[in-house]
């Protein structure tokens, strides 16, 4: 189906139907799995470097775990608070758009935190797997690439995987993608603004304000300077 020179219809096909919700719901499931993978990567790097007991590292891992759990909770929340559209279950759009706003920030934050956990270990790696077969270079790799928890080959495998996910052209593209695939931040925040149930929130304020007033006969102080 093609929509030609009809901006209202173009908008309606996404926002007057569940199309935009379904499109971004699957994206949040994808992101949930990616964030879980990044969390596992962070844990494995800390174990490989023998720094898992360092308080600052545990603090970082705890914060990353909370972020990953929040993403999972928001996916489950948009499912649990969904509604029926004919025979189809449609995730809750308000929770969906809230997740988009927050995950645009969470993904690059997680990437940066893991880069800091890995440190220079992401750079000081053999250039190629062929280096292991080089009789001149291989002994140096064996001496310099092992860690308190892993032998040289397993450590190189882990850190090469981390570099692919965090610093390579492939990994950098993923970070940029997760930050902007749904539009710039003002776009996703606009969806959150548009779909939030403001009446529910403001009614709480209005209800509290309506519970009290000035006593009968009370006078307000004149404005300053009058």
Q: What is the pLDDT of residues 100-142, one digit of tens each?
A: 999 999 999 999 999 999 999 988 888 888 888 889 988 888 8
Residue burial 32-46, b: 16+ Cβ < 10 Å; e: rest: bebbeebbebbbbbb
- Write down the pLDDT at residue 224: 62
Residue 5 lies in a domain: no
Residue 63 lies in a domain: yes
Residue 210 lies in a domain: no
The structure tokens 């882990």 sit at 158
Residue 4 lies in a domain: no
Residue 75 lies in a domain: yes
Q: Half-sphere exposure of 28 toward its Cβ, with a 13 Å CA cutoff?
A: 28
- Write down the pLDDT at residue 220: 62
- Write down the pLDDT at residue 52: 93
Residues spanned by the domain of 72: 15-199
Give 129's contacts (C-beta < 8 A, 6+ positions apart).
none
- What average pLDDT does range 29-38 have in this prediction? 96
Residue 218 lies in a domain: no
CA angle 180/181/187 to nearest 5° reads: 65
Q: How many domains does the chain have?
A: 1
Confidence of residue 168 (pLDDT cuts 50, 70, 90): very high
Question: For position 77, which CATH number holds?
Answer: 1.20.140.10
Residue 192 lies in a domain: yes
Residue 216 lies in a domain: no
- What average pLDDT does range 31-48 have in this prediction? 96
């Amino acid at each position: 189906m093609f929509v030609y020179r009809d901006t209202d219809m173009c908008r309606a096909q996404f926002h007057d139907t569940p199309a935009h919700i379904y499109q971004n719901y699957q994206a949040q499931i994808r992101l949930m799995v990616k964030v879980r993978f990044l969390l596992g990567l962070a844990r494995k790097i800390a174990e490989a470097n023998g720094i898992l007991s360092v308080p600052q590292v545990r603090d970082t891992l705890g914060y990353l775990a909370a972020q990953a759990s929040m993403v999972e909770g928001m996916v489950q929340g948009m499912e649990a608070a969904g509604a029926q559209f004919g025979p189809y279950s449609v995730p809750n759009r308000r929770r969906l758009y809230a997740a988009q706003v927050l995950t645009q920030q969470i993904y690059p934050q997680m990437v940066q935190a893991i880069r800091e956990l890995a440190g220079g270990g992401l750079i000081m790696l053999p250039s190629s797997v062929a280096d292991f077969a080089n009789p001149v270079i291989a002994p140096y790799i064996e001496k310099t690439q092992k860690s308190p928890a892993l032998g040289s080959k397993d450590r190189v495998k882990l850190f090469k995987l981390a570099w692919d996910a965090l610093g390579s052209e492939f990994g950098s593209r993923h970070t940029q993608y997760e930050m902007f695939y749904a539009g710039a931040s003002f776009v996703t925040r606009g969806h959150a603004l548009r779909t939030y149930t403001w009446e529910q929130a403001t009614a709480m304020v209005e209800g509290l304000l309506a519970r009290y007033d000035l006593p009968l006969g009370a006078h307000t102080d004149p404005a300053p300077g009058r």
